Structure 1
Amino acid sequence: MKAHVDKDTCIGCGLCPSVCPEVFEMQDDGKAGEIKSSVPESSADTAKEAGDSCPVNAIEIE
């Protein structure tokens, strides 16, 4: 499973790292990014929750 944040769409609300800090972080540009593009099995459910919770649908989980 992979995670990707679309930087052009992200508004930097900080929700995804608060839901899944193992996969997402706020970066120097003020927007979210992936710490790891490959989502660990132990974080799969929370990564999906972060993607579903994104208010602008900037997160893709495959």
Structure 2
Amino acid sequence: MRVEFDEPKCVAAGQCVVAAPEVFDQRDEDGIAVVLVEHPGDELLDDVRDAVVVCPAAAIRLAE
């Protein structure tokens, strides 16, 4: 599994960080999300799936 993130779509809502803090963070200067773990392990997949669902900009995908 690979996290795909479309940075230009990001609206800096931070919902991904709340859903999966081990996988996402936000830049201090503008709040745009950053992917910390591009290939999350099985133990993080449910959290990443939650992040995909709650992202208001639909900027995150989980590619299999």
Shared fold (TM-score, shorter chain, > 0.5): yes
Contact 1:4 1:33 in 2 (8 A): no
Name stretches of at least 5 consecutive residues in structure 2 with no aligned partner. Answer: none
Count of matched residue positions in the alignment of Structure 1 and Structure 2: 62
The equivalent of 1:26 in structure 2 is: 26
Partners of 1:18 and 1:7 in 2: how far apart? 17
Partners of 2:19 and 2:62 in 1: how far apart? 14
Residue 5 of structure 1 deviates from its aligned partner by 1.7
Please provide the CA RMSD for this pair.
1.0
Percent identity among equivalent residues?
31
Deviations 1:8-58 (A, max 9, x none): 000000000111001111124420011010011100011011011111100
TM-score under structure 1 length normalisation:
0.90
